[in-house]
Structures are given as structure tokens and as C-alpha cells.
Amino acid sequence: MSDVFENVMDLAKRRGFIWPTSECYGAVAGFIDYGPLGAMMKRRIEDIWRHFYVFQEGYYEIECPTIAQEAVFIASGHVKGFSDKMCQCPHCKEYLRADHVADGGGVCGAATMDNETLAAAIATCKCPACGKVLGNVEVYNFNLMFSTTIGPGSQRVGYLRPETAQGMFVDFARLLRFYRDKLPFGAVQIGKSYRNEISPRQGMIRLREFTQAEAEIFVHPDEKNHHPAFSRYANYRMPLLTYVHQQKCEPAVEMSMREAVDGGVIANEYVAYYVALTHEMLATIGIRPDRLRFRQHLPDERAHYATDCWDAEVYSERFGWVETVGIADRTNYDLNAHAKQSGTTMTVFIQYDTPKKVQRRRIIPNMGVLGRQYRKKAKAIFAALETATPSPDGADVTVDGETIHIPADLFEVRDEVVDVRGEEIVPHVIEPSYGIDRMCYAVLEQAYDEDTVDGEKRTVLRLSPKVAPVQVAVFPLMSRDGLDTLSEEITTTLQKHGILAEYDDSGAIGRRYRRQDEIGTPFAITVDYESKETHTVTIRDRDSMKQVRIAIDKLPGMLPALVGGSIRFAEIV
């Protein structure tokens, strides 16, 4: 096989999976169109994601605008710090990502270098566009957000969101009420995000408009080690490439999630739970476990908001290990930031099981005397006294910048024990963040295969039936003698049972199989002359190419089971 990337993209273009956008005007790098089959496959992947996060986890989906006002991204830190390091090739004038140039030139540690160090490090590297040695270049920060203005003639700045996550954070107060003021809860969102990537050249891997599927799970900070359903994944095993392994250049070590948490490898049960869920989810869409690894961020690689972060990386024959999902413990960073910026409370009242007895000192002012003496200032003095620290001769309070001494005989200090019912806390956020386009590419690349059938080359997409756009093809052996009408009836019946069935009567049967193999259709039904006599059809499996004859009335029950994976083709042969 020649370069799998070229082959996959050629097939994807030819058969309607992925197209360059606005091609008739000349495509724009970093944007793609999903064609009819690509859009369907993407939808299936998103629906599998929904199955895990919405159905299994019970986190409802929300949908926020893709443009938000500036304040949102000032709070989140994106206005100030969401940038990549850029330089310009002095020869061909191409704008380049300086850290990528460094990586390509074998320079280590570029991600954590300051601009001057990086500029010096890449001076001997070649420009990936023109191939000439860069020499002296300036490296500077380029903010990746697309900015716009909101409203005609408006000065109101807005940005296209660089992640869906902020929508869940700014909706926190409403989400909290929706979930009846109880932790933990989660909200998820699937939608477009935008980043003005510098010279994206990696097909579907680095886009300027891409789809994210993100979950924000709000938890009590003291409960991060008690995921209520942790037992589901406690014994789930996988190789983990910790930051310590990376620093020592050691390989990943396989362990269970229980061992990872108990051994301090993964920060807490919540992060470990979503690492395992992500592994299961990626395997469900067809990612091979031997091409999937979980890599912990190095301490200096983590985002400013994260305490622990793991990337699910999928191996690509063209691009190497590609970050496809990030699972981060974002702590209370975002909620604190939005609370401060917006002036809105973003806390949860946590009621204790039994009220706590708390020793409290109350200062009770002599209102009559203080009121007469201080008149207009009295109210402010009463308030200031509540938090004052009195000495035996009185208390100093500050009102409107003026320090006022209140003698001890004008207030009473009462030490009492009070019942405290609970406390206000700012939840922490665990965030699994999936890049749907990268998942789509990985699925296509791993499914692409070529073999030889009857002496002819066959191109086949070995897609999981769960993500294949067309789930079954229905072929009349001849488009006459009633075989066509029976085939159409079968197609309609299967469609009514939620199966995407495609009727095809054009060309030799072998060509029809090849057409469907190439787009990954896992099953093909052939209606032949025997079908009319015995009310049976043959069903063919794309991968083994085995065929089995079964009763037509069994199809509506069998096809959904085959597609959903509850039975396998080998079981019906």
C-alpha cells in the first residue's frame, strides 16, 4: 500500500466522505466539507459518543452559540493567552508554527521554550514550505481566536468559540438549578469550535473549524476520589504512559484504573473513570487498542487550568501519535474566573449530614448610643463591627476610609455555639474533550485496506458496522422478474426498522459488492430466483466475504442486531 493518508483522502473525496470546502473557488486550508457518506459516519460517531455520555452517564446535552462576547474569553484566559508561537520564513514568506518547525528539525522541548530561545533553536531548521534554512527569524505569539463584532456598526467585540466548554461554564448557575442543586452533575455539548491555526497542513487533523464533543462534570472537590460508578471501570486495564515514564524514556505500563488511582498515577477516580470510558468509546467506534495510548501531560505541558491531564493518542501511519481526546482535571479555575468577571455567584450550597456546631463570636452594638452618636454613619459602623477584632478597650472600624475607635462599653462580645447547616463551595470540573474530526480520520485510516479478490485488487473500508454510513446494501440479482420489487420491499422494510439500506441494481453483482466494500458497507443482501420460491435471501459479510442464506422475515430482527454488535456474522453462518 502506498501512503495510507493519500489513499484514504483519495477514497474519501471520490466516494463522498470528505471534500475540500468551496472547491470551485479554490479550497481554503483548515476547512473541510463532509460529503453525504462522511456526514453520516460522523453523525454515527457522535451518536455513539452520546450513547456513552448522555445515556450511560446521564449528562444532558446543551447547545450554546458559537460566538460569545469578549468578557467570556477574557475570563477564560483565551484573550490573553490562547496563542501559538509563530514565525515567518524569510525566503518564501510562509507563516509557520515555530514549535512545529522545531519538532520537524529534531529540536527537543520546543513546547516550553520562550520566544527568543525558540527563535535561536530553529535558526538551523529548514522551512517546511520551501525547504530553505530559516536563519534569523522572529518568533512571536499569535492569538488563535477568530474575532468579530456583534451587531451592525457595533464596537461590541465577539469571538468564535475556540472550545465548546465555556458555554457549560457560563451556564453553570442554570445547570445547577436544572440538576436540583446537587453535585455531581454534568453537561455535554457537541458543536463547532474555531481556531485560526497557523498554516494547517494535516488534512482533518488540524482544522480551523472543527467539531468538539465535550463533557464538563462538576464535582465536589473533596469527592474527586469517589466516583459513584467507579466499579464499572475499576478493573479496566490499559497501558498508561505516565509523565515519569516519558521523562525516563520508559515504555507505558499496563495497569487497572484501581491500581492507577491507588498508586497515585492518575490524580483521582473521576479522571481515571473517563480515561477508561474514553478507551472503551474509541474501541467501540473501531479504533484498534494497539494503536491507542493514553499519555499523561508533562507538568510543564499542562494547560494553565489543569492539575492532571491525559491525552488519548491514536497512532496514524502518516502523522504518528495524534492527540484525539484530552481528559483534564480543570479544578475550579473556570468557575472562579467567570464568577469574578461576571459578578455572579458560582457556588453550590453543600448541606452537612448533620449540622456542625461552630464556635462563633458575635459583636452586638449598643445601637441606641451608637445611633445617636454617629447618626448617618451608624449603619456602616454596625456592619463593620460584625467583622472587627476587638481588644479589651474597644474596636477600631474603618468606614469610608476613616478609622473610628468604638469604646468597649458600646458593644457586647458574645461567644456562642451555633448550628451551621452547610457551606458554599466552588465545584471542580473534570473535562473529557473529544475531537470528532480526528476520530473520523482515525477511523477511516484504520479501516482502509486493500486485498485481492478473484485476482483483482479490492479496496475495502473495514469500518465497524456501528459507524458505517450505509449499513446494508440490497441487490436484486437481475432487475426484472420481480427480483427488483422484492428487493425494494426488503429495502423499505429495513429502512422502517432504522437501518440505512441502499438499493442498487446497476452493473454486475461483483461490481456492486466492490462499490459497497469501498464505502465500508458491512452487509449485502442479494435477492435471487430462489428468493421468490423459498422467501430467503443471501446475506454477505464484507470482511470474510462469506454468505449465508436466511429467511426474509428474519432480516428486520437480525440486521439491527448485526449492526449494533449484539450478534456477530460468524454466529449466523
The residue among 191 and 435 lying less far from ligand GAP, judged by its C-beta, is 435
Q: Does 437 bind ligand GAP (CB under 6 A)?
A: yes
Q: Does 325 bind ligand GAP (CB under 6 A)?
A: yes
Cβ 436 to ligand GAP shortest distance, Å = 8
Identify any residues that bridge with 414 across adjacent strands, giving them in sequence order. 362
Torsion of the alpha carbons at 367, 372, 375 and 379, rounded to the nearest 10 = 0
Q: Please select the residue that binds ligand GAP; options are 143, 212, 332, 526, rule is CB under 6 A.
A: 212
Q: Please select the residue that binds ligand GAP; options are 158, 203, 286, 326, rule is CB under 6 A.
A: 326
The residue among 370 and 439 lying less far from ligand GAP, judged by its C-beta, is 439
For residues 119-178, which are near ligand GAP according to CB under 6 A? Answer: 163, 165
Q: Does 295 bind ligand GAP (CB under 6 A)?
A: no
The residue among 206 and 227 lying less far from ligand GAP, judged by its C-beta, is 206
Contacts of 19 (CB under 8 A, 6+ apart): 13, 32, 33, 34, 35
**Residue closest to 392 by CA, chosen among 382, 381, 407:** 407
Give the residue closest to ligand GAP by C-beta: 435
CA distances from 453 to 331, 449, 458, 461, 517 (A): 55, 13, 6, 15, 12
Mapping DSSP to helix (H, G, I), strand (E, B) and coil, where does residue 246 land?
helix
Q: Does 240 bind ligand GAP (CB under 6 A)?
A: no
Q: Does 207 bind ligand GAP (CB under 6 A)?
A: yes
Contacts of 510 (CB under 8 A, 6+ apart): 454
Cβ 170 to ligand GAP shortest distance, Å = 14
Q: Please select the residue that binds ligand GAP; options are 57, 99, 214, 541, rule is CB under 6 A.
A: 214
Q: Does 296 bind ligand GAP (CB under 6 A)?
A: no
Q: Supply the angle between the helices 36-50 and 436-447 in degrees, to the nearest 10.
A: 110
Could you tell me where the beta strands, DSSP code E, fall in 11-102? 18-20, 32-34, 60-61, 67-69, 83-88, 95-97
Q: Please select the residue that binds ligand GAP; options are 42, 161, 195, 293, rule is CB under 6 A.
A: 195
Run of H or E including 217: strand 209-219
Q: Supply the angle between the helices 378-386 and 367-374 in degrees, to the nearest 10.
A: 130
Cβ 173 to ligand GAP shortest distance, Å = 20
Q: How many CA atoms lie within 13 A of 29 on its CB side?
A: 8
Contacts of 275 (CB under 8 A, 6+ apart): 238, 240, 257, 260, 266, 294, 310, 312, 327
Q: How many residues lie near ligand GAP (CB under 6 A)?
A: 18
How crowded is residue 221: how many other Cβ atoms within 10 Å of its Cβ? Answer: 12
Spell out, one character per residue from 412 to 431, where the chain touches ligand GAP: x when CB under 6 A holds, - when not: -------------------x
Q: Does 197 bind ligand GAP (CB under 6 A)?
A: yes
The residue among 127 and 325 lying less far from ligand GAP, judged by its C-beta, is 325
How crowded is residue 359: how many other Cβ atoms within 10 Å of its Cβ? Answer: 8
Cβ 183 to ligand GAP shortest distance, Å = 20
Q: Does 206 bind ligand GAP (CB under 6 A)?
A: yes
Q: Does 313 bind ligand GAP (CB under 6 A)?
A: no
Using CB under 6 A as the criterion, which residues of the chain lie in contact with ligand GAP when the complex forms? 163, 165, 195, 197, 206-207, 210, 212, 214, 323-326, 431, 433, 435, 437-438
